Structure 1
């Protein structure tokens, strides 16, 4: 996001918003000191295959370590109900971060996701709404 040669079509305001969000929300998540574990990094239904032996996750290029809430952020909202120990504030931040990452990928000059820019604009609006909720809940900036 910070390199205009990688994302030449990203506007100045959007670049600043994404850069700020990626830095500040990542820092907020790390500063919580939550236990980290191995994560898929993007466990949404499109990365799940039904096999005779049960579900199998694919597309492991985003595997990472972090709080379980980061993986929960990619799943449908009702999935979090199956994790009674999940931190709802941390989950909200992880949802914002996952949207910021996805939006960033949509503006990569080499992105080939069909209709990626339209999706990127939709996700950017969702990210901004999450930031607005966060700011309202905390009574200030992020």
Structure 2
């Protein structure tokens, strides 16, 4: 019997999405942590959202093999130099990340699982009225121009 799939895991690639990093983790520290396990091209620590207790980062490894090794051996474990376990998954390919939604969307926006988590948090905090219009602002009302 097939189970319904929530989100298909991302295909193996050099790009990893890591959560559970220390709040004060910098891209330099993140790169040093993962250099222990293979070549790291780039580490990009994301800004820590209000209310979060850990940081997240995109880590781009030199090869798919290095990235697979990190997912297989570091996911759920405590990397040397850290005190808590980290979650390591293959990042959703940029082309498949949802566009827009948040302010501007940047380079493809956060991965779907992060968006779902943020939406849950927003609704839990009573802020689930996105897009239903607010009381503020009179844009488009009045004015005498020929718009």
TM-score > 0.5, shorter chain as reference: no
Structure number with greater Rg is: 2
Answer 1 or 2: which has greater strand percent: 2
TM-score by length of 2: 0.25
TM-score by length of 1: 0.26
Answer 1 or 2: which has greater helix percent: 1
